[in-house]
Amino acid sequence: MTSEQTPFFITTAISYPNGVPHIGHAYEVIATDAMARFKRLDGYDVFFMTGTDEHGQKMLQTAEREGITPRELAQRNSDAFQAMNDELGISYDRFIRTTDSDHYAAAQAIWKRMESNGDIYLDKYAGWYSVRDEAFHAEEDTEVREDGVRYSKETDTEVTWTEEESYFFRLSAYQDKLLELYKSQPDFGAPHTRFNEVIRFVERGLEDLSISRTTFDWGVPVPGNKDHVMYVWVDALTNYLTGTGFPDIESESFKKYWPADVHVIGKDISRFHAIYWPAFLMSAKLPLPKRVMIHGFLNNNGVKMSKSLGNVVAPADFISQYGLDQVRYFFLREVPFGADGSYSHDSIVGRMNSDLANNLGNLAQRSLSMVAKNCGGAVPTPGEFTDADQQILAEAGNLLEICRDSFSRQEFSKALEAIWTVLGDTNAYFADQAPWVLRKTDVARMETVLYVTLEVLRRVGILVQPVMPTAAASLLGVLGQAEGSAREFVEFETALVAGAELPAPAPIFPKFEDSTV
Ligand code: ME8
């Protein structure tokens, strides 16, 4: 890292380790990883954090059911989340656990700041609580169903009557300030359809929030009152500050990385991030994150994943079936980030075979093997560029700006769509120019066509690194691009050097063979 690099702090939600990770968790962390890698390649000083949210009643109840302590449960499943990250090639800089000792210090410090601002008071809570959601629900938002049990209408989870002494946060005092924030920073939440739901919710009015519990002790102790532990969301949201060195607000890392550039989260937790979190930070007199990016949910063949339906897919099984880069590509290309999405065997194999094996793998294989056979295994020497050559080079040349623009809004599918449009055009160019015919009629022209094709592939290889790190590295490798700066975005504008020796070509994306397809 050099001192001129601009910092970029990005986070995922921290997952509840009350079970093992599923493909929804993998989806979020893959998208965030692609964003982090993109920014690193673009010269930013990136800090990427993910982790596990280990306190609260849900963890406690699951542990009780399993006959182990919540700490043992947290350890076991937090390890499973870390293992998933490693299997997915996630380039996180810190895996934070809310049981880490520096996190206790941060959670207690933010509490004290909110308290000294006059926003915390002791009262009695009486209302409906959903352990599954770790959230309170207003009575009118609940209903008793046929089974005689009361549920949250919105989340379909069981709620139980909870009555206890509790500290409250004066959330009601922040309604106007939050609405002002949304107005002055219209991109604070994205995409707009999801952010608008949050805004409507705040417009309807906010009640003060119960932020401590007394009936169990699996949580961060409330400073100054040993009978209370913090409500798990106060503790959980603060993880984002912990990672930057808070409460040491004079530390180099806090000054550099806070406020966060993007919190990537799923649609079920948008209110916690776009309402509670900025309100807590305003109260604590700390800067607010710049953006909360809300993604949709992934469904299996259009059906919600659930243990009872037996359609919960383990990320590791997915990767062993299709390959890591293929899965990463599929998720980011298939589902516009922010929308709900679905995956099925056929849709994955379809993308693998048409986009990866055909449009990219086959083009690389055909052009590189021609170069190996006919150009002495070195980058061919181009002659003067024709209009067709210039056009395709210009198209590929525009891709970096297009990708920067799309990634700045986490519109991964748009970036990939643009890259694959250029690949489609390059395939058409390759077919039109027919270098295998030129080999017999006009060798110089053949060399130019092959040069242009390889140059497009180099640019594509650089740009797909955030999404498919391993395959992109192989592609750049066979194009003779050494690891390091040659593969970074600063080198995007440079061009292949004629005559440079190339390694032997190797296939990048073999076709997926499956008897059921
Ligand atoms: O909510 N598709 O943890 P979590 C896509 N601990 N994303 C999904 C998904 C699906 N099917 N299911 C879950 C929590 N997610 C809290 C967060 S942050 C301070 C605390 C996403 O394990 C979900 O939306 O239930 C969330 O962003 C993340 O996975 C972790 O969910």
454 CB within 6 A, ligand 1: no
Q: Which two tokens stand for residue 190?
A: 């994205």
What is the model's pLDDT at position 298?
Answer: 92
237 CB within 6 A, ligand 1: yes
Percentage of the chain lying above the pLDDT 70 cut: 98
> Could you say which DSSP state residue 487 is in?
G
305 CB within 6 A, ligand 1: yes
Q: How far is the CA of 266 from the centre of ligand 1 (A)?
A: 6
Q: How far apart are CA 354 and CA 358, in angstroms?
A: 5
What is the model's pLDDT at position 515?
Answer: 55
Q: Give the residue among 85, 88, 20 at the shortest CA–CA distance from 318.
A: 88
- Return the ligand 1 atom nearest residue 28 CA: 7
What is the model's pLDDT at position 110?
Answer: 98
pLDDT for residue 265 is more than 70: yes
Which residue has its alpha carbon closest to ligand 1 atom 22?
A: 15
298 CB within 6 A, ligand 1: yes
Which residue has its alpha carbon closest to ligand 1 atom 12?
A: 24
DSSP code string of 270-328: HHIIIIIHHHHHHHTT-PPPS-EEEE--EEETTB---TTTT-PPPHHHHHHHH-HHHHH
Q: Predicted confidence band at 486 (pLDDT cuts at 50, 70, 90)?
A: very high
What is the model's pLDDT at position 154?
Answer: 92
Hey, what CATH topology would domain 7-119+171-295 get?
Rossmann fold (3.40.50)
What is the model's pLDDT at position 132?
Answer: 93
What type of residue sits at position 472?
A
Q: How far is the CA of 22 from the centre of ligand 1 (A)?
A: 10
134 CB within 6 A, ligand 1: no
Q: What is the rounded average pLDDT of the residues 91-113?
A: 98
Which phi and psi angles does 209 have, rounded to 5°?
A: -110, 130
- Return the ligand 1 atom nearest residue 305 CA: 11
pTM metric for this prediction: 0.96
Which residue has its alpha carbon closest to ligand 1 atom 30?
A: 15
Q: How far apart are CA 502 and CA 375, in angstroms?
A: 10
53 CB within 6 A, ligand 1: yes
Percentage of the chain lying above the pLDDT 90 cut: 93
- Return the ligand 1 atom nearest residue 304 CA: 11
Which phi and psi angles does 262 have, rounded to 5°?
A: -145, 130
292 CB within 6 A, ligand 1: no
What type of residue sits at position 196?
N
Q: What is the ipTM of this complex?
A: 0.99
Locus of tokens 């800067």: 287
Q: How far is the CA of 411 from the centre of ligand 1 (A)?
A: 20
- Return the ligand 1 atom nearest residue 266 CA: 24
pLDDT for residue 517 is more than 50: no
Sign of the CA dihedral 112, 114, 117, 119? negative
Q: How far is the CA of 172 from the centre of ligand 1 (A)?
A: 26
- Return the ligand 1 atom nearest residue 268 CA: 24
The domain limits of the chain are 7-119+171-295, 120-169, 354-501
Q: Predicted confidence band at 241 (pLDDT cuts at 50, 70, 90)?
A: very high
Establish how many alpha carbons lie within 13 A of residue 303's alpha carbon, considering only the half-sphere containing its beta carbon: 11
Q: How far is the CA of 5 from the centre of ligand 1 (A)?
A: 31
Q: How far apart are CA 21 and CA 17, in angstroms?
A: 8
194-239: pLDDT as tens digits: 999 999 999 999 999 999 999 999 999 999 999 999 999 999 999 9
CATH class (in words) of the domain with range 354-501? mainly alpha
7-119+171-295 and 354-501: identical CATH topology: no
Q: Give the residue among 65, 173, 175, 165 at the shortest CA–CA distance from 122.
A: 165
What is the model's pLDDT at position 2?
Answer: 54
What's the Cα-to-Cα distance from 264 to each of 55, 214, 232, 240, 269, rounded to whole Å? 21, 31, 19, 12, 10
Q: Output the average pLDDT for the chain.
A: 95
What is the model's pLDDT at position 431?
Answer: 98
Best residue among 238, 240, 269 to mutate for probing ligand 1, ranked by most atoms within 8 Å of CB:
269
What is the model's pLDDT at position 7?
Answer: 98
